[in-house]
Amino acid sequence: MPTSEISAPLLQTLHDALGGEVREWAEAQGLDGPGELPLAAPPPHVRADVSLPWALGLAKTARKNPMDIAAALAARFSRLPEVAEASVSSPGFVNLRLKETSLVAEAENGLFLAGPYKPRKLKRKILIEFVSANPTGPLHAASGRGATLGDALARVLRMLGHEVAMEYYVNDCGRQVDMLGRSLEARRDGKPVPEEGYHGSYLEDLARQLPPEAKAWSAAELSRYAVEALLKTHQEDMRAFDVHFDRYFRESELHARKALETTLDRLKSLGAVYEKEGAVWFKRPEEAASAEDDKDRVLVRADGRPTYFLADIAYHEDKYARGYPELIDIWGTDHHGYVPRLKGALEALGRRPAGFHVILHQLIRLMRGNEAVKMSKRAGEFVRLKDLVDEVGKDACRFFFAMRSPGSHLVFDLELAKKRTAENPVYYCQYVHARVCSIFREAQKRGFPSSPEALRGAALPAGAAFDKEERDLLVKIAWFPETLAACERELSPHPLATYILELAGLFHPFYEKCRVLDPADRERTAFRLLLIAGVRETIARGLALLGVSAPESM
């Protein structure tokens, strides 16, 4: 039966054992224990399942040839129960080939156990804030990239045993909200929209939908109405995108609790502010000086109005006060200069720099063939996320957004995203899941074992050798938890998207060469059914972490 927590995966268990061997070796040499010891997949030309560059890192402090260190470590590693062979390659790598019994056991375990994994170190308590689009217009397509990054990262971190909450910050105060009300007022009264106002045609729709009593509303009342109406569309779009926030936190909550005043008083007591020209400024600490942010910043304007900078400081202080020691913010790349500014303010308040992470994602470029496109003529100046999802589907959107690291530019090919061929990356992965499901439907019809329970303990006939394609799949399945750990390190789901594509790519040569349902060899059939069940579960789990469906037929 599934358990609430998956036991330590094969490569994690192996990593712990390898680390113990390295520390023993270092101690015997009179050396301090090594730092990080990463596992790596070997290059294609190396006949191994795991490659370790550890000897290269130890060579400098040990003052020894890295090849000699690698040879000594390989001799120790070869004694471990999971290792079939340990070899050395230049300039100092130890390459491990794992025992096939361990690989099969790992694939089998995945059929019976459900997440989350046990945390590898300490369990982290994290608050991820993302999207947080201003409620002055509909969500645009770039918000989908931020939504995918935040939601997929939260899912991965939860799978790794961490406690994660997701939050959307609503800027429902300030000048932009005032201008929204004035813009809607102009639309209502048939007057020109202020030059600095919002000119999108969505306000025409909003003006037509105003209730009869709105004829007497002030600009302030209209702004409140518009914020609520537009925020509702944001929430609907996020639900349709399969993103479900734990909380929509409003800036107005901070103002109601006088949190901005409290934060400002704390900064004053710490000597982190000064007054100039009637305004209150944040005094940037000397140690926080950088080329990215070489100016002090206004907290309160000369007319007494607080800036967004002060509101953001108060908001992040509120996050910490709610018991989240670690914060992750996902912002668009246009906020690049804002990062050191906010970090400096939080450091001035005594917050650890290591507890605050900002992920900046690039914008996307939508293409139809060789042409850049705008999909929403009614929206005018931007492409709505809803229009993008309506055209290509949620699955394609989320997979395409997850395929690149946040800092990489993303060209989104609409025509490719709609193709139902192997050219389309998401279709390519989903098709493998559907293909395995169809094999199991046929297996059931023909009386082969098809349930996980019936496949427990399946193995090759005594003395039979693994085909390369079988072994390649087993090794790839074993790397799944390590891929999630890479997502955690890089604060991005793109290693997972790459992994799923590679696993799907290994299934195709297996399917072409290896007959799964063979009445003349029921033992090998049972083993191959176990193997492809592992492929099916791994792809389904990986797609689910990206927020993508795993159809059983296509």
3-state SS string for 47-103: CCCEEECHHHHHHHHHCCCHHHHHHHHHHHHCCCCCEEEEEEECCCEEEEEECHHHH
Q: Where do the DSSP E strands lie in 214-368?
A: 247-250, 273-276, 279-282, 297-300, 326-332, 356-361, 364-368
Residue 60 belongs to domain with CATH number: 3.30.1360.70
User: What pLDDT digit, counting tens, does each position of 157-205 carry?
Assistant: 999 999 999 999 999 999 999 999 999 999 999 999 999 999 888 999 9
pLDDT at 398 over 80: yes
Q: Is the distance from CB of 299 to CB of 98 less than 8 angstroms?
A: no
Whether the ω angle into residue 66 lies within 30 degrees of 0, i.e. cis, is: no
The pLDDT of residue 531 is 97
Kindly give, in sequence order, each residue whose CB lies less than 8 Å from that of residue 117, ignoring residues fewer than 6 positions away: 5, 6, 8, 9, 159, 160, 161, 481, 484
Residue 380 belongs to domain with CATH number: 3.40.50.620
139 and 61 within one domain = no
- Domain limit, last residue, from 415, 448, 480: 415
Q: Is the distance from CB of 130 to CB of 150 less than 8 angstroms?
A: yes
347, part of any domain: no
317, part of any domain: no
User: What pLDDT digit, counting tens, does each position of 493-507 carry?
Assistant: 999 999 999 999 999
Please give the average per-residue pLDDT across 227-238, as a whole number: 97
Q: How far is the C-alpha of 390 from the C-alpha of 386, rounded, in Å?
A: 6
Angle, alpha carbons 343-347-349 (nearest 5°): 120
248 and 179 within one domain = yes
42, part of any domain: yes
Which one-letter DSSP state was computed for residue 214? Answer: G
Q: How does residue 121 score in pLDDT terms, banded at 50, 70 and 90?
A: confident
537 and 439 within one domain = yes
160 and 82 within one domain = no
Q: How far is the C-alpha of 72 from the C-alpha of 334, rounded, in Å?
A: 50
pLDDT at 139 over 80: yes
65 and 202 within one domain = no
The residue segments making up the domain with residue 518 are: 425-545
**Number of domains observed in the structure of the chain:** 3
58 and 176 within one domain = no
Average pLDDT over the chain reads: 93
Angle, alpha carbons 150-415-334 (nearest 5°): 40
325, part of any domain: no
Please give the average per-residue pLDDT across 199-225, as a whole number: 95
36, part of any domain: yes
56, part of any domain: yes
pLDDT at 517 over 50: yes
474 and 379 within one domain = no
Nearest to 457 by CA among 536, 507, 539, 523: 523
List the single range of 91-105, 263-277, 454-468 with lowest mean pLDDT.
454-468
- CB neighbours of residue 190 within 10 Å: 7
298, part of any domain: no
Share of the chain above pLDDT 70, in %: 95
Please give the average per-residue pLDDT across 366-390, as a whole number: 78
Which two three-digit tokens encode residue 506?
Answer: 């290994």
Burial class (CB in 10 A: 0-12, 13-18, 19+), 521: middle
pLDDT at 380 over 90: no
469 and 398 within one domain = no
Residue 490 belongs to domain with CATH number: 1.10.730.10
Q: What is the pTM (predicted TM-score) of this model?
A: 0.94
3-state SS string for 430-493: HHHHHHHHHHHHHHHHCCCCCCHHHHCCCCCCCCCCCCHHHHHHHHHHHCHHHHHHHHHHHCCC
148 and 94 within one domain = no
Backbone torsions φ then ψ of 139, nearest 5 degrees: -70, 135
136 and 39 within one domain = no
The pLDDT of residue 381 is 63
491 and 464 within one domain = yes
Q: Which residue has the tokens 């690049």?
A: 336
User: What pLDDT digit, counting tens, does each position of 280-305 carry?
Assistant: 999 876 655 444 555 789 999 999 99
250 and 147 within one domain = yes
User: What pLDDT digit, counting tens, does each position of 462-479 carry?
Assistant: 889 999 999 999 999 999
User: What pLDDT digit, counting tens, does each position of 38-75 carry?
Assistant: 899 999 899 999 999 999 999 988 999 999 999 999 99
Q: Say which residue, 326 or 337, is predicted with more confidence.
A: 326
pLDDT at 383 over 90: no
The pLDDT of residue 243 is 98
385, part of any domain: yes
